[in-house]
Amino acid sequence: MTTDSASRALIERYFVAINGDDWDAIRQIYTEDGVYQGSGGRPHRGIEEIVAYYPKLFSGWSIHIDTPVRITVDGSTARADVVFTGTTLDGRELSFDAYDDFVIEGDRLASVATTYDVELVRGLLNGG
């Protein structure tokens, strides 16, 4: 059984890893059969597919920071309210709100689902 404090620490490790482009740490955080699901995209299943996907997810950003502003843990599930701030490859600074839902198995993430307003972000990226 995972304690709320252990779950919170795992989620904090997750954000340190993605903000630092530390894909080896991501490998250590997820279960072997984990799932990552982003807004508007297909699920990425299994650790190899997940680790291969994260660099692609952030490839359009010269800087990207996901800042969890609130983490709520309830047993084996958790949610992080997130503010994403980033700089595009052409130098534009953008920010938007998101949230990540987590399912935790033992000391690892079984799944992460990221949700944000896809149309808003597309508009921001297109200069709107």
CA angle 62, 67, 68 (to 5 degrees): 150
Name the residue ranges covered by the structural domains of the chain.
4-125
**Which pLDDT score, from 0 to 100, does residue 127 have?**
79
Q: What CATH number matches the domain at 4-125, 3.40.91.50, 3.10.450.50, 3.40.50.1100, 3.40.640.10?
A: 3.10.450.50
pLDDT score recorded for residue 40: 87
Reading the chain (128 residues) residue by residue, the pLDDT tens digits are 468 999 999 999 999 999 999 999 999 999 999 999 999 899 999 999 999 999 999 999 999 999 999 999 999 999 999 999 999 999 999 999 999 999 999 999 999 999 999 999 998 888 76
Phi then psi dihedrals of residue 20, to 5 deg? -95, 10
Quick one: pLDDT at residue 3?
Answer: 85
Q: Select from 55, 58, 32, 54 the least CA-distant residue to 45.
A: 32
E strand or H helix at 120: helix 118-125
**Residue-level pLDDT at 58:** 95
Identify which of 29, 21, 90, 88 has the alpha carbon closest to the alpha carbon of residue 60: 88
The pLDDT value given to residue 2 = 63
